[in-house]
């Protein structure tokens, strides 16, 4: 029986103690702790890594604090467009979706696409039609309305500016949530979900639903979920690059993550971070920004919850 471990993130970016009130700090930590411990309970009961990452991400999607699911930001048109992905390290099967507007928990739809379709990525109305056929829960527009997100959008809706979740005047962060886990069988899995960019146009899609960029899992190496400026993560093929460094160069998980996030990404201006776990339950939480909402829990160890640079 393998040691189990799970790690989650709730976004990265300019997150400092100066721009989070004590109340906000406490709320974020509580939400992260609840999500990571829910996922870890699944693992300790003998559940799969897939079930654990899905449940942890559902918890984060259900919280208005994070830019995914209920807390998704507004697009240029005042709507919500959500992306998500999930991947199984044992089979290399994956499911993803882009640009859905009324799915309560996009990560559940990603799982359904992986398990019940012959495809990897579905988008827009087609993805929602698929969700309907499998009885997934929809939510009305009012469910996704958040006063803070609305004010955020109001500041820029009459301009061509798009924002990565928050303006510099607020706590600029790259809003994505994600989870990675390894179960008692030694199988790894990853899941990622996002509401994208505030005021985004043209059905823009980031790295979250792109397998190998924002989400990846392989039992030969690790499971990874990313958060950051999606365009850079797509161009750098970040998640798969970490896996490749482990597989072909023999790097440790930590070394591979640092090589990609602290060197490769930084060289061409990519900001953000990632979480990763190996089949042997090594965990890495690496970011090049001011902070990253993150938490992890391993068998027999205390729950780690952190926000800022240590």
Binding residues for substrate: 204-207, 227-230
Angle between the 106-116 and 49-61 helix axes, to the nearest 10 degrees? 150
Residues facing residue 305 across a β-bridge: 295
Q: How far apart are CA 191 and CA 214, in angstroms?
A: 9
User: Which pair of tokens denotes residue 302?
Assistant: 């205390």
CA 198 from centroid of its chain's CA atoms: 17
Binding residues: 204-207, 227-230
Contact 76, 201 (CB under 8 A): yes
* Sign of the dihedral through C-alpha 181, 108, 240, 178: negative
Our answer to whether residue 176 is catalytic in this structure is yes
The active-site residue out of 4, 176, 198, 208 is 176
- List phi, psi (to 5°) of 154: -60, -30
Residues designated as active site? 176
């Amino acid at each position: 029986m393998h040691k189990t471990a799970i790690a989650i993130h709730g976004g990265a970016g300019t997150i400092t103690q100066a721009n989070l009130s004590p109340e906000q700090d406490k709320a974020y930590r509580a939400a992260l702790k609840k999500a990571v411990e829910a996922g870890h309970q699944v693992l300790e009961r003998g559940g799969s890594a897939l079930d654990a990452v899905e449940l942890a991400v559902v918890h984060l999607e259900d919280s208005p604090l994070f830019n995914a699911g209920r807390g998704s930001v507004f697009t240029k048109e005042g709507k919500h467009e959500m992306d998500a992905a999930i991947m199984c390290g044992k089979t290399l099967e994956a499911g993803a979706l882009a640009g859905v507007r009324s799915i309560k928990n996009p990560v559940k739809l990603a799982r359904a696409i992986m398990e019940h379709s012959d495809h990897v990525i579905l988008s827009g109305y087609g993805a929602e039609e698929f969700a309907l056929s499998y009885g997934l829960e929809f939510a009305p527009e009012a469910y996704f309305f958040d006063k803070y997100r609305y004010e955020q959008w109001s500041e820029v809706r009459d301009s061509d500016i798009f924002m990565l979740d928050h303006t510099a005047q607020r706590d600029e962060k790259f809003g994505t949530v994600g989870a990675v886990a390894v179960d008692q069988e030694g199988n790894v899995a990853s899941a990622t979900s996002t509401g994208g960019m505030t005021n985004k146009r043209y059905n823009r899609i980031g790295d979250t639903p792109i397998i190998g960029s924002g989400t990846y899992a392989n039992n030969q190496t690790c499971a990874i979920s990313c958060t950051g400026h999606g365009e850079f993560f797509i161009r750098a093929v970040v998640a798969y690059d970490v896996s490749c460094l482990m597989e072909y160069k023999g790097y440790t998980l930590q070394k591979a993550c640092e090589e990609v996030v602290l060197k490769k990404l930084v060289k061409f201006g990519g900001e953000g971070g990632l979480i990763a776990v190996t089949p042997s339950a090594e965990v890495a939480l690496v970011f090049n920004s001011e902070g990253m909402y993150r938490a992890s829990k391993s068998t027999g160890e205390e729950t780690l919850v952190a926000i800022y640079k240590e």
